[in-house]
Amino acid sequence: MSDEVKCDKPVCDKFVAVNELARRRGFYWNSYEIYGGAGGFVTYGPLGTRLKQNIENKLRELFVKQTGVMEMESSVITPGKVFEASGHVDHFKEPMVECVKCNKRFRADHLLEEYANISSVQAEKMTLDEVQAALETNNITCPDCGGGFRPPQQFLTMFETTIGPYSGATGYGRPEAAQGIFVEFNRLYSAAREKLPFGVIQIGRALRNEISPRQGLLRLREFTICDLEFFFDPEEPCCHLLKEVEHETLPIVLCEKRERCCEDITIFTVREALDKKIVRSEWQAFFMAMAKRLLTEIGVPAEKQRFIEKLPWEKAHYATQSFDQEVYLERYGWTEVSGHAFRTDFDLGCHMKACGADMRVFKEYPNPVETERLVVKPNLAKLGPVFKKETGKVGELLSKADPEVVEVALKKDGFYVVEGYKVFSEHVQIVSQKVVERGKRFIPYVVEPSFGSDRLFYVALEYAYGIKDDRVVMSFSRSIVPVQVGVYPLMSKDGLAEKAQEVQRQLVQAGFMVEYDEAGSIGRRYARADEAGIQLGITIDYESLKEDTVTIRDRDSWCQVRSQIKTLPELLQKYFQRKINFEDLGT
């Protein structure tokens, strides 16, 4: 963890301060408190829900509206077969140990990290035997009662359930939204009018049954994931949108440095990263640049963002090249907010193999190609006397068989078996034949940017958090601020409240997120608004009644300008679209 990076506004522990504020003002809190709580589940309150939606909508704006990616929605509960095929049932596991005395269970890698200073990166490489050895060597015992541990075992971190009334029908809560996209590839390809490249995003709930969740919003059992799968032809890997981001810089910590335990950041432009083959896919580089833009919009300055190239043993089982986008957090240091995996044809290939459906796409050659190909020709005259009524079927099976496999079998064993029918050399001919091929079928390649919505949310909170004159001010970025405008009558008498409600209605009608507040002194109301991060405060005073004007107050500078009521909708629209600044709102 790098020590040079420091936050501008030091608080004792920002994580604690942010969480305290979040709970108090209803951004989010730990769920089910009245029942003693349930680790790994959070509830978003009114302000939090709106902030989270704004972040997700910003993501939609960048990827769906601007990049043209399609959105879809599938189910959280997923039939077991899907995650067997995808490799999750085999790989989505964590090493767990159980205390022999108190039977409490712990994540072994967390114990190693905490009590033996073995990093998660190192622990990930270990086998169960090595984990056990490391626990013993370091004399690690149960943190609760000091007891020893039973041998470590792998714990499947998917939630398991049964679909329908039959006990055999296992279902899992999806740990990612990606598989929901892959299994529907054929329909999505058709929705994309059978043209590559195209992308599909799914923003939805995902579940991971963590052994011991911790770190608040950073490691939840239920969370919102935004998985974007971008499909392209590996023979045409160019990104036609690259020119829009090619001068954007990507701060990367390279594998070669990380292997030497060095965390130095190298800065490449998107173009350089591709030319130097640091990033292998143009689309992957494009999405990394877009991810940086997203985080900037959420309020994280460029120098608090970086990408780390994943080491071979850190990568998920499906990825050939992976980068994690990280943001610097005060308590936890560099923390992953998005993953960028080059999944190639792994997932579609797995599902094809598991279910037999053809998930390849057809690519027409510019000109049809004439090739010579071996084919199996069944000799029906010889097959007839042996297979009688079934001759037709056997013939058909043989003509579909792989000629090389048949040839090898006949040479090696003297016979070949297809679906239980045994045939001999005399029954078939392997001949070379001319075929005209109009095109070919192939499995598209995939790059995947994947964002954790709850982490983006936490990052937005931490980077908005600041102290001014001993008061908390949540300086949310203008594009995600949960409440855009607060409307306050100076007093609740003399018709000021009615006038203020009129302004509020006008702004709600114009589509703004508005809050009305008439309780307490105007100073207290401003303070309350700053804590909730309300961007602008509109105050209706006695002059408003005479001149039809209001004051507008800026949350961050506390400056005020005066403006005509009738111009507010248009001015505010321009302001929130960042076309004008606060000073342009009035005099």
For the chain, report the end-to-end CA distance as a whole number of angstroms: 47
Interface with a copy of itself (CB under 8 A), residue total 77
Q: How far apart are CA 564 and CA 547, in angstroms?
A: 8
569 interacts with a copy of itself by CB under 8 A: no
Q: How far apart are CA 480 and CA 393, in angstroms?
A: 64
Residues 352-371 that bind a copy of itself (CB under 8 A): 354-355, 357, 359
Q: Where are the alpha helices (DSSP H) in 138-232?
A: 178-182, 185-191
N residues, the chain:
587
Stretch that binds a copy of itself, among 164-172, 280-288, 388-396, 470-478 (CB under 8 A): 164-172
> Is the separation of the CB atoms in 277 and 342 below 8 Å?
no
> Is the separation of the CB atoms in 544 and 563 below 8 Å?
no
Q: How far apart are CA 587 and CA 584, in angstroms?
A: 8
155 interacts with a copy of itself by CB under 8 A: yes
Q: How far apart are CA 570 and CA 245, in angstroms?
A: 31
Residues 83-102 that bind a copy of itself (CB under 8 A): 96
527 interacts with a copy of itself by CB under 8 A: no
Report, in Å, the least distance between residue 344 CB and a copy of itself: 20
Which residue type occupies 96?
A: M
Q: Which of 5, 62, 81, 271 binds a copy of itself (CB under 8 A)?
A: 81
Q: Name the residue nearer to a copy of itself (CB basis): 377 or 574.
A: 574
73 interacts with a copy of itself by CB under 8 A: yes
> Is the separation of the CB atoms in 279 and 295 below 8 Å?
no
Q: Which of 14, 18, 22, 52 binds a copy of itself (CB under 8 A)?
A: 52
Stretch that binds a copy of itself, among 23-31, 261-269, 434-442, 469-477 (CB under 8 A): 23-31
Report, in Å, the least distance between residue 143 CB and a copy of itself: 15
Q: Which of 116, 163, 386, 561 binds a copy of itself (CB under 8 A)?
A: 163
Three-state DSSP at 78 gives strand
Q: How far apart are CA 134 and CA 251, in angstroms?
A: 35
Report, in Å, the least distance between residue 220 CB and a copy of itself: 9
Three-state DSSP at 159 gives coil
Residue 6's CB is within 10 A of a number of other CB atoms, namely 9
Which residues are bridge partners to 251 per DSSP?
267
Report, in Å, the least distance between residue 296 CB and a copy of itself: 19
Report, in Å, the least distance between residue 31 CB and a copy of itself: 6
To 10 degrees, what angle do helices 391-400 and 380-387 make? 130
119 interacts with a copy of itself by CB under 8 A: no
Cis ω before 385 (30° cut-off from 0): no
Report, in Å, the least distance between residue 319 CB and a copy of itself: 23
Residues 175-214 that bind a copy of itself (CB under 8 A): 180, 183-184, 186-188, 190-191, 193, 200, 204-205, 207, 209-212
Q: Name the residue nearer to a copy of itself (CB basis): 206 or 250.
A: 206
